[in-house]
Amino acid sequence: MNKLDFHSSGRHFLQIPGPSPVPDRILRAMSYPTIDHRGPEFGALGLKVLGGIGKIFKTRHPVVIYPASGTGAWEAALSNTMSPGDTVLMFETGQFATLWQKMAGNLGLKPEFLSLPGDEGWRHPVQAGMIEARLREDSSHVIKAVCVVHNETSTGVTSDVAAVRRAIDAAGHPALLMVDTISGLACADYRHDEWGVDVTVSGSQKGLMLPPGISFNAVSPKALEASKNGGLPRSFWRWSEIIAMNQNGYWPYTPNTNLLYGLSEALDMILEEELDHVFARHQRLAEACRRAVRGWGLEIQCADPAAFSPVLTGVRMPDGVDADAVRKLIYERFNMSLGAGLGKVKGRMFRIGHLGDCNELTLLAALAGCEMGLKLAGVPLVSSGVVPAMDYLAATPGTAALKAAA
Amino acid sequence: MNKLDFHSSGRHFLQIPGPSPVPDRILRAMSYPTIDHRGPEFGALGLKVLGGIGKIFKTRHPVVIYPASGTGAWEAALSNTMSPGDTVLMFETGQFATLWQKMAGNLGLKPEFLSLPGDEGWRHPVQAGMIEARLREDSSHVIKAVCVVHNETSTGVTSDVAAVRRAIDAAGHPALLMVDTISGLACADYRHDEWGVDVTVSGSQKGLMLPPGISFNAVSPKALEASKNGGLPRSFWRWSEIIAMNQNGYWPYTPNTNLLYGLSEALDMILEEELDHVFARHQRLAEACRRAVRGWGLEIQCADPAAFSPVLTGVRMPDGVDADAVRKLIYERFNMSLGAGLGKVKGRMFRIGHLGDCNELTLLAALAGCEMGLKLAGVPLVSSGVVPAMDYLAATPGTAALKAAA
Amino acid sequence: MNKLDFHSSGRHFLQIPGPSPVPDRILRAMSYPTIDHRGPEFGALGLKVLGGIGKIFKTRHPVVIYPASGTGAWEAALSNTMSPGDTVLMFETGQFATLWQKMAGNLGLKPEFLSLPGDEGWRHPVQAGMIEARLREDSSHVIKAVCVVHNETSTGVTSDVAAVRRAIDAAGHPALLMVDTISGLACADYRHDEWGVDVTVSGSQKGLMLPPGISFNAVSPKALEASKNGGLPRSFWRWSEIIAMNQNGYWPYTPNTNLLYGLSEALDMILEEELDHVFARHQRLAEACRRAVRGWGLEIQCADPAAFSPVLTGVRMPDGVDADAVRKLIYERFNMSLGAGLGKVKGRMFRIGHLGDCNELTLLAALAGCEMGLKLAGVPLVSSGVVPAMDYLAATPGTAALKAAA
Amino acid sequence: MNKLDFHSSGRHFLQIPGPSPVPDRILRAMSYPTIDHRGPEFGALGLKVLGGIGKIFKTRHPVVIYPASGTGAWEAALSNTMSPGDTVLMFETGQFATLWQKMAGNLGLKPEFLSLPGDEGWRHPVQAGMIEARLREDSSHVIKAVCVVHNETSTGVTSDVAAVRRAIDAAGHPALLMVDTISGLACADYRHDEWGVDVTVSGSQKGLMLPPGISFNAVSPKALEASKNGGLPRSFWRWSEIIAMNQNGYWPYTPNTNLLYGLSEALDMILEEELDHVFARHQRLAEACRRAVRGWGLEIQCADPAAFSPVLTGVRMPDGVDADAVRKLIYERFNMSLGAGLGKVKGRMFRIGHLGDCNELTLLAALAGCEMGLKLAGVPLVSSGVVPAMDYLAATPGTAALKAAA
């Protein structure tokens, strides 16, 4: 059905920052026949995935699984907790923070959007200090929630969520903390309970290595309480009924059964590898990627080394180079998909995904494709980037080796 | 992963009225690797499925495909067209009509629920005359929409949608007509444009033979116009942006890629068989099923022969028999799932699904499983039901034969 | 790719006596990527399947697995043990016994073919007494092997292998005992060691529920010894090198990797269900099938009740009815494949397979298809056969229930 | 089921010279349910694959497809044409030529094995001149066949089959020409008819991109004639009956159905890409691989540039380096399988496969894995090999681009 126009053989390299490549093991799990979502087998499946997903969010509280893609889970977070006209404080880290802010407006909320000047916000993480300052001003507690993106997929910048919690607490402000870690979950360390997050939003098609189609709200007791007395008009997204039926492993309406098969398998894979090793693997591949970018003499979109994303790396193009033309050339000549620059940085950067079911050789193939493509596109490169990436990967033991040695 | 506790061999018979059994051909199509939802291959896929799905709804107008299950599409229909506090006229045909009405309330609308007395509504189709009468009373046009269920999955009763349109027109009322054909689409004839429906809601896991996870709104120009000037707070469900991006085969947010592979395959299968033959096949299997029920001497839930559903048949139990105990016995002894009685008829009936990828021998197996289970449960049967079902199926040429002869 | 011409929906019923329907679970296992057949993963796979397959043959001695279909394993058995011109004593039970005898001639051996008069041999099992008598005559031990078919797939007759061993021993004859249980293995009880079989031949596509493509020789120490000093010119079939390399889980030449994945899964399935329950399940379904045939008033091909096959049932047509025309009608009208009459009984009978991944409702579907097809073909039936089959299956607890009660 | 011990994420790189990686498209095709091998669907499948496979061998004459792996097809070629004690002239190009010669001995033939002195034969192609000289000496035509390996998988040396035919003709010798192109078919150009080959032997798990399990004999009229009057004792391998039944798309015994589904898909893929483009793609990737080896300053096993294999490249280790230790390190650290040195070159070289469903980035990943592994193993490298490979691949348009430009 689907064909590549330019390549007639071999595997396509899907190196966008999500959807990430779905492992065969998960595709096979998803091809199990659909079952009765009211029968005993389904209940066992439901209890398994509901139990497992909490370990990934590091929460003892409910995680609501929606048969809807990630954008839906954004809406769910807002519509369960905010009342019409409520003010939400958001922070501009890139395109996805911008879209969430736009959604808040669509839903009739009043988003306030903190930003660094110019495009700087798209190269730096959330500034907890700015949030704290703003909350201190809000003595009448007009602001009902602080919403930040943990791993900004459009830029490759990862923010310090715990610092945001500390900022809220330092300001003595009762606002809820809502975090989007759609692309961060199961790639970068994430601690819903420990960091005091009230609602965490995530999706299936990134670190969980599934196709898109299910999404999540991890919900603190405080958020749950807020949802009981408030919220926007909503029914599909309503937490209460879902959480009640989840006690026995069922959902009030038809769940996305085959994706739940995939989730069950993904949980097995991730917990077998162990979360800490999953995170270390992402960090190591990301560092190799950045060494390649530096080898080429190109600039990394994230300007703050403490905020480098383990999930993806944004590569800025020299002035005058159209990043989308480079991506197109690489797609056509080397059978690889890269992420485009979005919004404010459209055409000025591309994004290399190194998340999910990735390993050393896959990353090096991706870097080789970039290197050849950049050269063919006439981008002047200082030196090979693949070579320093190889040097780094050869010099550092992989997570599997680390684990074996532990 | 999933195991049947009681049967260690052979195929499970999934005879619930949806999710219906997913053909291997579709499961295989869904196992194609996830691709970049912003790349050229995806655009081609998007245009294909958006073009094909219109043929199934019989509409020349937009069909919005959501990466969410069917309940979401109910919410989408209401939230795009109704304003807070609007009155919607609904008709109680069974559990799903009841749930949609409950959702309208959750969303802050004022649902008015027309019903036949007692449980009679659960055995009869929508009464267009009652709708016409109510609309005639509403001279100030407080009612903004009439909402009905085309094929009531909880009872096996199919309503005449064209008659509802005629009733609205006869009353000269401007209300929108919204129809749920989640379980009817691609099983029973459905004509969105010809019948003057404004929003048709459907889902993937019934006649389309897919797993659950995508759902639909077919949208008339009048409904689209209504959405521009009204609607509830909404973002994920918002039609306008989706329809705009669909022009090139894309979606504003991450679509459910692998289910769209499945949809592409399902459209091929259905259009190859031809819709009329798909409908005739469902009618024939449904008639065979009813002959079995009559053979047993049991009562069919649908009391109006003109409204017998081609999708499922509700079988009423004699007084004192717990239908759920019968279903459990059949599940444990004969590896078959049947639909439970829901809501008002819980425990008083079970439902046999004969929709989607079904054929003669599969239906006869299901009927045999029912017949053995009923006997084992002590339900007195007048005679074999399998025998008259076989007689009917042998005597009538199947749709394939009809098609060959055409 | 493959399409049924006459049916556009639903599952095809493959009710031939092999290849039997391959469970989804096995098809999924077979879709694991092909690995290096010299790497460590493969060694682990090899050791697992070599260990497991012995349990199925009930032998502590080597089982050679060939990357070739069952006919190859017949040739392997003969070519490893017989020398050019050797006499082998075979017994005519049907088409497969005849083909094996024909192969012996092709290989330059001298097959002696014992038969009952007329077509009677095709309705009765191996007559151990005839074998004993012949061996007693052979005082100079010209006969080097006795070869019999355990479950004759062309007729549905199962022979008593232990009785053949007793006959050989009673005659005090040193001939090897070679048995074809291609269609019997993992359906009917089989005891390679206890019954004193020297070479047992089997294949993948019957009770093991795999696609065709691998086959087996279970080899006694006596047969192995014979192979060292004799045998026909051979290389691919040569046991010694295979058995040597199997010690570490490898093969001297490229094995059929993906079918070995399937075998690994099949062994898990069979041993989880437990062999005795697998056998009981086959016996029960076979009895239900025979009750249907008797209900129709038709004759079972096997004339000896002690030799009824648990694998398949041969159904004889009344004089003047072309069994192949009946099969064709059933294939076209009801989407089911039945086995043809072969050789001497071509056109005079058809065969219903009830082996491998079969269960009650699948069998009843098959019987319903036969019943409708027979009627449409004008075969006069005494009564419904499905009804007594249902009565029997409802009255007897299935193997799973038996197991639960144990 | 199968797990890698050392890597917990990402795709395994299978870079052995066969089995080559099976494309998902073929794995999906192989998961179609097994069908009746005597039914009408199967006949259509059989005719399709029998028609298509001739195009790959470039022959108008029969190609026999065996449900057995490649070694079986070697035996089939010899056993159908040679009589006991016949002399066959073979040429030592490496391990597989040696194994075929050993098989000839096992089968009771008299193989004469021409070789270059020392290990030189393992670095050079077949020397047609030596064959011609030997045949000229054989004035009494004792030699019945000349047997050569087209692409020697153990060394990466491809021989000139047309030159062997010319040598035979120049000597005026009636010997049959038999060629093993198990690893060459569908990778390197091959012309059964034009080159006057009498029997070509091939297998499924190399250029055809299938799992192992089916194999081929392409048969000239002269070879077919020889088989009628001669041959060794044989039955399974016997051409005549197979060719006769193939007329209608069937086989005399159970074929390897699911692998034939895969073959059907593979033929579609190869013929869509077009054979010439398949060959050019292999040549280009092979050249890139050799540039990497030269970049490292290592020696290529094939010493004759005219005979470089497009299928695989043998990389010789400096004295004192154990090639198997290097392979093991690469397997453990970088999740890649490479081919071992076999027979005379065990431990002295490893083999990189670049055949079948391979593309630029996959090859570069493999080269990067080699480069890192060689360094970690302490092998002194002159420079990066990946860099010149990238330079070459960037500088040359791929086959797809060539095709588009044509």
Select from C190, C172, C125, C180 the least CA-distant residue to C147: C180
- Is the predicted pLDDT of residue B387 greater than 80, yes or no? yes
Residues A117-171: tens digit of each pLDDT: 998 999 999 999 999 999 999 999 999 999 999 999 999 999 999 999 999 999 9
Segments of chain C with pLDDT less than 70: 1-8, 399-406
- Residues of A in Cβ contact (< 8 Å) with C32: 24, 28
Residues A171-224: tens digit of each pLDDT: 999 999 999 999 999 999 999 999 999 999 999 999 999 999 999 999 999 999
Residue D146: strand, helix, or coil: strand
- Cβ contacts from B onto C, under 8 A: 143
Select from C321, C281, C275 the least CA-distant residue to C298: C321
Asked whether the beta carbons of B67 and A68 are under 8 A apart, the reply is: yes
- Cβ contacts from A onto C, under 8 A: 11
- Residues of A in Cβ contact (< 8 Å) with D358: 9-10
Residues A270-303: tens digit of each pLDDT: 999 999 999 999 999 999 999 999 999 999 999 9
**D13, D269, D401: residue with CB nearest A361:** D13
Instruction: Say which DSSP state C33 is in.
Output: P
Please tell me the pTM assigned to this model: 0.97
Per-residue pLDDT, averaged over A62-66, amounts to: 98
Q: Which residue of C has its CA nearest to A33?
A: C24
What are A's interface residues with C at a Cβ cutoff of 8 A? 24, 28, 31-33
The number of helix segments (H) and strand segments (E) in chain C equals: 14, 14
Q: Which residue of D has its CA nearest to A273?
A: D8
**C2, C213, C257: residue with CB nearest D35:** C2
Nearest chain D CA: its distance from B338 CA (Å): 26
Segment (H or E) for D390? helix D386-395
CB contact under 8 A, C361 and B369: yes
User: Which residues are CB-neighbours of B235 under 8 A, at least 6 positions away?
Assistant: A71, A74, A75, A102, A103, A106, A107
CB contact under 8 A, C69 and D254: yes
Question: Taken in order A289, A290, A296, A301, is the CA torsion positive or negative?
Answer: positive
Residue among C274, C357, C360 with most chain B CBs within 10 A, to mutate: C360
CB contact under 8 A, C361 and B335: yes
pLDDT (0 to 100) of residue A402: 57
User: Which residues are CB-neighbours of C304 under 8 A, at least 6 positions away?
Assistant: C123, C124, C125, C157
- Residues of C in Cβ contact (< 8 Å) with A41: none
Residue D219: strand, helix, or coil: strand
Q: Which residue of D has its CA nearest to B31?
A: D28
User: Which residues are CB-neighbours of D31 under 8 A, at least 6 positions away?
Assistant: B24, B28, C27, C28, C30, C31, D258
pLDDT (0 to 100) of residue D13: 97
- Residues of D in Cβ contact (< 8 Å) with A357: 9-11
CB contact under 8 A, A333 and D401: yes
Question: Taken in order C5, C6, C9, C11, is the CA torsion positive or negative?
Answer: negative
CB contact under 8 A, C364 and B360: no
Pairing outcome for strands B176-180 and B143-149: parallel
C-alpha–C-alpha distance, residues A244 and A323, integer Å: 49
Per-residue pLDDT, averaged over D298-313, amounts to: 98
Polymer length in residues for chain B: 406
Residue among C278, C359, C376 with most chain B CBs within 10 A, to mutate: C359
pLDDT (0 to 100) of residue C2: 43
Strand partners of residue B316: B299, B349
Which two tokens mark A365? 């193939």
Q: How many CA atoms lie within 13 A of B278 on its CB side?
A: 26
Q: Cis omega (within 30 of 0) on the bond before B397?
A: no
- Is the predicted pLDDT of residue D270 greater than 90, yes or no? yes
CB contact under 8 A, A72 and B236: yes
Instruction: Say which DSSP state C220 is in.
Output: -
Percent of chain C with pLDDT over 90: 94
Instruction: Say which DSSP state C244 is in.
Output: H
Segment (H or E) for C203? strand C199-203
Which of D8 and A34 is assigned the larger pLDDT? A34
**What phi and psi values does residue A351 have, to the nearest 5 degrees?**
-125, 130
Alpha-carbon distances, residue D227 vs D58, D176, D223 (angstroms): 22, 11, 6
Q: Which residue of C has its CA nearest to B383?
A: C387
| Phi/psi-derived region of residue D343, left when phi > 0, alpha when psi is between -120 and 50, beta in every other case | left
**C334, C358, C387: residue with CB nearest B10:** C358
- Is the predicted pLDDT of residue B202 greater than 60, yes or no? yes
Instruction: Say which DSSP state D127 is in.
Output: -
Percent of chain D with pLDDT over 70: 96
Nearest chain B CA: its distance from A383 CA (Å): 30
Alpha-carbon distances, residue D63 vs B363, D193, D239 (angstroms): 44, 12, 10
**What phi and psi values does residue A288 have, to the nearest 5 degrees?**
-60, -40
- Residues of D in Cβ contact (< 8 Å) with A394: 372, 375-376
C-alpha–C-alpha distance, residues B235 and B266, integer Å: 29
pLDDT (0 to 100) of residue B216: 98
- Residues of A in Cβ contact (< 8 Å) with D335: 359-361
- Is the predicted pLDDT of residue A2 greater than 50, yes or no? no
Alpha-carbon distances, residue B275 vs A219, B191, B399 (angstroms): 45, 12, 11
What are B's interface residues with D at a Cβ cutoff of 8 A? 24, 28, 31-33
Nearest chain B CA: its distance from C288 CA (Å): 13
Which two tokens mark B156? 């096996």
**C272, C273, C394: residue with CB nearest B372:** C394
User: Which residues are CB-neighbours of A41 under 8 A, at least 6 positions away?
Assistant: A35, B2, B3, B4
Nearest chain A CA: its distance from D263 CA (Å): 16
Which parts of C115-174 are beta strand (E)?
143-149, 151-152, 157-158
Nearest chain A CA: its distance from D312 CA (Å): 16
Q: Cis omega (within 30 of 0) on the bond before D305?
A: no
Question: Average pLDDT over chain D, rounded to whole?
Answer: 95
- Residues of C in Cβ contact (< 8 Å) with A28: 28, 31-32
For the stretch D4-7, contacts whose Cβ atoms lie closer than 8 Å and that sit 24 or more positions apart, written own/partner, are D4/C41, D4/D335, D5/C40, D5/D332, D6/A400, D6/A401, D6/A404, D6/D331, D6/D332, D6/D333, D6/D335, D7/A359, D7/A398, D7/A400, D7/D335
C-alpha–C-alpha distance, residues A80 and C215, integer Å: 61
Asked whether the beta carbons of B322 and B363 are under 8 A apart, the reply is: no
The number of helix segments (H) and strand segments (E) in chain B equals: 14, 14
- Is the predicted pLDDT of residue D2 greater than 50, yes or no? no
Q: Residue A5: pLDDT band by 50, 70, 90 thresholds? A: very low
CB contact under 8 A, C254 and D68: no
Q: Which residue of C has its CA nearest to D82?
A: C233
Which parts of B197-301 are beta strand (E)?
199-203, 215-219, 299-300
C-alpha–C-alpha distance, residues D15 and D363, integer Å: 8
Q: Which residue of D has its CA nearest to C4?
A: D41
- Residues of C in Cβ contact (< 8 Å) with B7: 359, 398, 400
C-alpha–C-alpha distance, residues D11 and C29, integer Å: 17
Asked whether the beta carbons of C160 and C192 are under 8 A apart, the reply is: no
Sole residue written with tokens 């330019």: A6
CB contact under 8 A, A235 and B36: no
Q: How many CA atoms lie within 13 A of C229 on its CB side?
A: 4
pLDDT (0 to 100) of residue B403: 58
Per-residue pLDDT, averaged over D105-116, amounts to: 98
Asked whether the beta carbons of B364 and B393 are under 8 A apart, the reply is: yes
Residue among D48, D75, D103, D253 with most chain C CBs within 10 A, to mutate: D253
Alpha-carbon distances, residue C273 vs C45, C49, C60, C190, C281 (angstroms): 21, 17, 21, 16, 10
pLDDT (0 to 100) of residue A4: 42
Nearest 10 degrees: Cα torsion B128, B133, B134, B140: 130
Which two tokens mark C399? 């193997």
Question: Taken in order C87, C90, C92, C96, is the CA torsion positive or negative?
Answer: negative
Select from C149, C246, C227, C147 the least CA-distant residue to C190: C149
Chains that touch C (3 or more CB pairs under 8 A): A, B, D
Asked whether the beta carbons of D73 and D127 are under 8 A apart, the reply is: no
Nearest chain C CA: its distance from B332 CA (Å): 9
Sole residue written with tokens 């398994």: A48
Per-residue pLDDT, averaged over B389-401, amounts to: 86
- Three-point CA angle C126, C129, C131, nearest 5°: 70
Segment (H or E) for D111? strand D110-114
**What phi and psi values does residue A275 have, to the nearest 5 degrees?**
-55, -45
- Residues of A in Cβ contact (< 8 Å) with C28: 28, 31-32
Question: Average pLDDT over chain B, rounded to whole?
Answer: 95
Nearest chain D CA: its distance from C133 CA (Å): 30
- Residues of A in Cβ contact (< 8 Å) with B253: 69-71
Instruction: Say which DSSP state B158 is in.
Output: E
Select from C223, C97, C203 the least CA-distant residue to C158: C97
CA C271 to chain centre: 19
Q: Which residue of B has its CA nearest to A73?
A: B236
- Is the predicted pLDDT of residue A88 greater than 50, yes or no? yes
Which two tokens mark B273? 């068989």
Q: Which residue of D has its CA nearest to A375?
A: D394
C-alpha–C-alpha distance, residues A71 and B238, integer Å: 12
**C31, C32, C254: residue with CB nearest D2:** C32
Q: Residue D401: pLDDT band by 50, 70, 90 thresholds? A: low
Q: How many CA atoms lie within 13 A of C94 on its CB side?
A: 25
- Cβ contacts from B onto D, under 8 A: 11
pLDDT (0 to 100) of residue D400: 62
Q: Which residue of B has its CA nearest to D33?
A: B24
Q: Residue D5: pLDDT band by 50, 70, 90 thresholds? A: very low
CB contact under 8 A, C394 and B375: yes
